[in-house]
Structure 1
Amino acid sequence: MTTDSQSSDPLSGSASSAKLVPRRLTQGFRALHNYNFRLFWWSQIVSLSGTWMQTTAQSWLVLQITGSGLSLGLVTAVQFLPVTLLALYGGVLADRLRKQRAILFTQAASMIQAFIFGGLVATDHIALWHIYVLAAIQGIITAVDNPTRQAFVVEMVGRDDLPNALALNSTAFNAARIVGPSIAGIIIDQVGIALTLIINAVTFIPVLIALLRMDTLALHTPPPPRKGNPTKQVMEGLAYAWRTPAILTIFIAVAVIGTFGYNFSVTLPLLADFVLHKTAAGLGTLMSFLGIGSLIAAMATAYAKTVSLKRLLWGAFGFSVLFAMVALSRVYVLSLGLLAVMGFCGIIFAITSNTLLQLLAPDELRGRLMSVHVLLFVGSTPLGGFLIGLFSDLFGVSTALFICALICIAGVLAATVYVRSHGALDTQR
C-alpha cells in the first residue's frame, strides 16, 4: 500500500520528474566530467575563436591586396597543400608520439606564426608572398596537429564518452565560428586587420596552460605501436579502410564534401564581396550564421546515443542541396537563413563521420585512419580552393559554387549506391 500511495502521489511524481529533467539536460555534457577533457574543451573555445578571427582576416586581406578569387583560392591551396602531402605521415606520428607533448609543440608553433603574421601587418610590411609562406607554415603544423588532436580525444575520455566528447568538440568549434568572425569583422572595420591576428596569437596561451596542467596518469594511453617503415604503416591503414565497406563509404563522402563543399574560407568571402556586395562585417555575419546552424546541430548530436551511416549520408545530401541554393541566392537575408540550415546539415555529417570512424577504428590504427579523414576533409582543400577560385574567375562566383554543389550531390549518391551494394548501410555504433 505504501508503494501504491507514493506512486500515485502527484507531488512525489513531480519531484521525480524534476530530478529527471536536469539529468537529461546534463547528459549532453557528460564527457566534461573528465578533468583533462574539461580543461582542453574550455581552452579550445577561446583558441578556436581566435583561429576563426585569423581565417576571416586572412581572406579579407588577400581580397584587399589582389581583388581576385583565384588569388584567394591559391592562398587556401598553399595553406592546405602540406596537409595533403603530409597528413598520412602525421597519422603515423600520431600513433607513435605522446599526443599531449606533440600538441603542446604544434600549438606553440601556431602561436608564433600568428604573432609574426600580426607583426607584419601592424608594421605595414605585409606582402602577398608573406601570406603564402605563413599559410604554408600553418599547413605543415596542421598536418601533424589535426590527426594528433583528434586521436587524443579518446585518450582523454575513453571509448564510452567518445561520441559525446566529439560532439562537444564540434560545439566548441561552432560556437567559436559564431563569435570569432563576428568580432573579426567589427575589429577589421573599426581598427584594422593586425589586431585581429594578434588577438588570435594570444588565444593559444590558454591551450598551452591546459595541456601543461593535465593529469597524465588519467589518460587512456594505448600501448605504443610497433616500430617499422612509416610508408608501410601508412599502407596498413589504407588497406584496412579499403577492405572495410563502412569506413570506405565514410571516406568517399568525406572526399567529395571536403574537396568541393567545405571550402568556406574561399566561398564565403567570394559570396560576400562579389555576389552580395558586403563589407568585412557582412562576411563575419555570413560566417556566424553558418556557425549558428552548426552549433545547434552539434548540441543536438551531443544528446544522441548512437551514430549511423544513414545519418551521415542524409546530412551530406542535405548539405549539398542547400549549398546549391546558397550558390543561386542573391538576397542577403535569404543567404543567411540558407547558410544556417546548411551549417546544421554539414555538422551532422561532419560529427557523424568523425565519431563513427573513431568507433570503427582499431586502437592501433586510429591515428592513421584519422589522418586519412584529415587528408580527405582538409587536405583536399588545395584542389577544391584552387578550382573554386579558377571557376569563379572564369564563370562567375555563383556558377562556380553551383557546379561544386552538383558534384557534392553526385558524390553522396555514389557513396550511397556503394554502401547499399555491400550491405553495410545499417552500420551504427
Structure 2
Amino acid sequence: MSPTFHSLRHRNYRLFWSGMFLSNVGTWMQRIAQDWLVLVVLGGGAQAVGITTGLQFLPFLLVAPFGGLLADRFDKRRLLVLTNSFLGLVGLTLGVLTLTGLAEIWHVYVLAFLLGVGSALDNPARQAFVSELVGKDDLTNAVALNSASFNAARLIGPGLAGILIGLIGTGWVFILNGASFVSPILALLLLRGVGGRPKRDAERAGTFSQLREGVSYLWSRPDLLMVVTIMFGLGTFGMNFQMTMALMATDVYDKGPGEYGLLGSIMAIGTLSGALVAARRRVPRRRLIVGGAVVFGLLEVATGLMPTYLLFAISLIPVGILAMTVMTAANAYVQTTVPQYVRGRVMSLYMMIFMGGTPFGAPVIGFVADAFGARWSLLGGGILTAVFAIGALLILAPRSGVVVRTRLRPRPGLVVVTTAPAPMPADEPAQVRVA
C-alpha cells in the first residue's frame, strides 16, 4: 500500500475513516447553507455572519477542556456515538425551522452555539480515539488522512450545497446534514476490539485537579506552547474563510449561491492536497509549523487583493495547501509527543486554543468588513496571522529548541532551525506539579 494511505490497512481505522467522510460532507453543506441563510434569506449583514461563526466556536473555550477530560475518563467510542447523535439532531432542528418558515436569526444563533457544544465535546474524543485505532508508527499518517477526509468532503460539500440551495432550498440541506450522521454512528458500532474505560483510572482525582494536570503538562512543554500559540493566531485571525468567502462572493464579486459554494470546493483542492502531502511525512517538524503560518498569512493578504472572481478562486488553492499543511503538522506534533494518559486533555486544550479564538476573531473581522469593505477581512486577517506567528517565534523559540538565523546566500532571508528533537511520549505520567 502507498505510504500516503498505509493507515487504511487497519480495519477499524478504515471503518472509522469512511464513516466520518459522509458526515463531513454534510457538515460542509451545513456551513455553506447556514451562512447563506443568515446573509441572504434572513437579511443579516456581515456582522451577523460573524456573530454566528463566533457562537459556533465559543463552546471550544467553555466546554472543550471538559470534553478532553471525558475522553480521558470514559469509553471514547460511546462518547462519539452520543456526540454524533446530538450533532445530527441539531442539524435536523434547523432544517425543520427553515422549512416551516419559522427560522429567525436568533434561532440560528442558538443552534450554532449548540452545534459548537457538540463539536467541542466530539473533537477531543475523536482526535484521541485515532491513536487507539492505529499503531504509534501510523499515527501521523492517520491524523493526516483524517484531515484529507475532512477536506475531500470540503471539495464536495460546498459546491453540492450551492447547487442544492438553488434547487431545493436551505432547509433540505440542513435535513441532509442531520441524516448524514447515521454513517459515523454505524461505523463506530461496527468497530472491533476497541473502547472500554482507559487503563488509568481517572476518577482517583477530582475533575478540576485533572484539568489542572492537563494545563500544567502543557505549561511544562515550551515546544507545545509555541505550537499552540501560533495556532491561536492562525485560528483567530486567519481561518475565517467560512465568513470571508461569503463576503467576497456577495459584496465584491456580486455572485450567487452556486459561485459561493464553488469557492469552498476550489479551496478544498488546496486543503486536500496539503493533507495528502502531510500524510507522507512520518515525523512532523516545528519549523514547518512556524514557517508555514507566516507564509499562509502573506498568501491570505495576496488573496484579498485579487481583482476578479476567477483570480480570487485560483488563489484559494495555495492558501488551502498552506493552511492544511500547518494544521496537520501541528495536530500530529501534539498527538505524537504527548503521553496517552493526558492526551485527551492536552488535545482539548489545543482545540480550545486553536478554535476558541474564533468567537473573538470572527466578529472583529466581520466588523472590519462592514466598516472598511470585504477585502479587509482577508487583508487584516492575513497580516495579523503573520505578525502573530513571528511574535510567538521570537518570544518562545529560545525555550522550545527552535532558533531563527539570518541567511545571506543564495538569497537573503530568515531560516528556522530545529535544534532539539521533539520529545517522545512516555507511557507513565510525568512528574508534573498540579497544586
Which of 368, 371, 380 is equivalent to 1:394? 371
1:215 aligned partner: 192
The 8 Å contact of residues 133 and 194 in structure 2, kept in 1 or not, is answered as no
- 1:20-419 to structure 2, matched below 5 A, reads 23=1, 26-64=2-40, 65-217=42-194, 222-419=199-396
- Say which is worse superposed, 393-402 or 141-150, in terms of deviation: 393-402
Code of the residue aligned with 1:119 in structure 2: it is: V
TM-score, structure 2 normalization: 0.90
Return the TM-score normalized by structure 1.
0.91
Distance apart, 1:205 and its partner CA? 0.8
Assess if the C-alpha contact under 8 Å between 1:276 and 1:331 holds in 2: yes
Alpha-carbon distance in structure 2 between the residues aligned to 1:408 and 1:118: 35
Aligned partner letter, 1:402: L
| Structure with higher helix content | 1
Distance 2:400 2:182 in 1: 48
Conserved 8 A contact 2:151-2:271: yes
Q: Which amino acid aligns with 1:51?
A: T
Percent identical pairs in the alignment equals: 35
Aligned residue type for 2:39: L
CA distance in 1, matches of 2:231, 2:54: 18
1:313 aligned partner, one-letter code? V
CA distance in 2 between partners of 1:259 and 1:361 (Å): 24
Q: What CA distance in whole angstroms lies between the structure 2 residues aligned with 1:54 and 1:33?
A: 31
Structure-2 separation of matches of 1:308 and 1:222: 30
Output the CA distance in 2 between the equivalents of 1:245 and 1:278: 46
Shift in Å, 1:221: 5.5
In 2, the alpha carbon distance for the partners of 1:217 and 1:186 equals 39
C-alpha deviation, 1:228, in angstroms: 2.0
- Of stretches 235-244 and 305-314 in structure 1, the one that deviates more from structure 2 is 235-244
Report the 3-state secondary structure (helix = DSSP H, G, I; strand = E; otherwise coil) of the residue aligned with 2:202: coil
Is the CA contact (8 Å cut-off) linking 1:275 and 1:397 kept in structure 2? Answer: yes
CA contact (8 A) 1:294 1:347 kept: yes
Q: In structure 2, how many angstroms separate the alpha carbons of the residues matched to 1:307 and 1:174?
A: 19
Query: 1:338-369 CA distances to partner (integer Å, 9 max, x unpaired)?
Result: 11100000001000000000111121111111
The alpha carbon displacement at 1:223 in A equals 3.2
Distance (Å, rounded) in 1 between the aligned partners of 2:380 and 2:290: 20
Q: Is the 8 A contact 1:166 1:355 kept in 2?
A: yes
SS of alignment partner, residue 187 of structure 1 = helix
Query: Does the 8 Å contact 1:47/1:206 carry over to 2?
Result: yes
Q: Show the counterpart of 1:4.
A: none
Q: Is the 8 A contact 1:290 1:342 kept in 2?
A: yes
* Contact 1:50 1:180 survives alignment (8 Å): yes
Structure 1 residue 67, shift from structure 2 partner: 3.9
Code of the aligned partner of 1:39: L
Residues 70-79 or 396-405, more deviating: 396-405
Gaps of at least 5 residues in structure 1 are: 1-22
Q: How far does the alpha carbon of each residue in 1:177-199 deviate from its partner, in whole angstroms, 9 at most, with x for none?
A: 01000100011122211121111
Query: How far off its partner does 1:413 sit?
Result: 0.6
The residue number in structure 2 matching 1:3 is none
Q: Distance in 2 between matches of 1:227 and 1:387?
A: 43
On the 8 A contact 2:226/2:397 being kept in 1, the answer is no
Question: Retained in 2: the 8 A contact 1:95–1:224?
Answer: no
TM-aligned CA distance change 1:41 to 1:423, over 3 Å: closer
In the alignment, structure 2 segments of 5+ residues that lack a partner are: 403-417, 425-435
Which deviates more from structure 2 when the two are superposed, residues 27-36 or residues 53-62? 27-36
| 2:8 counterpart letter in structure 1 | L
Q: Which residue type is aligned with residue 229 of structure 1?
A: G
Q: State the alpha-carbon separation in 2 of the partners of residues 219 and 272 from structure 1.
A: 47
Deviation of the 1:414 alpha carbon: 1.5
Q: Is the 8 A contact 1:113 1:138 kept in 2?
A: yes
Aligned partners of 2:98 and 2:170 also within 8 Å: yes
String of CA shifts for 1:64-106, please: whole Å, max 9, x gaps.
1124000111111112212211111211111111100000000
CA distance in 2, matches of 1:220, 1:298: 31
CA distance in 2: counterparts of 1:292 and 1:367, whole angstroms: 30
The two structures, once aligned, show a CA RMSD in angstroms of 1.6
Single out whichever of 416-425 and 289-298 deviates more from structure 2. Answer: 416-425
8 Å Cα contact 1:181/1:287 also seen in 2? yes
SS at 1:369's partner residue?
A: helix
The alpha-carbon deviation at position 419 of structure 1 amounts to 4.3
Distance 1:305 1:194, change over 3 A: same
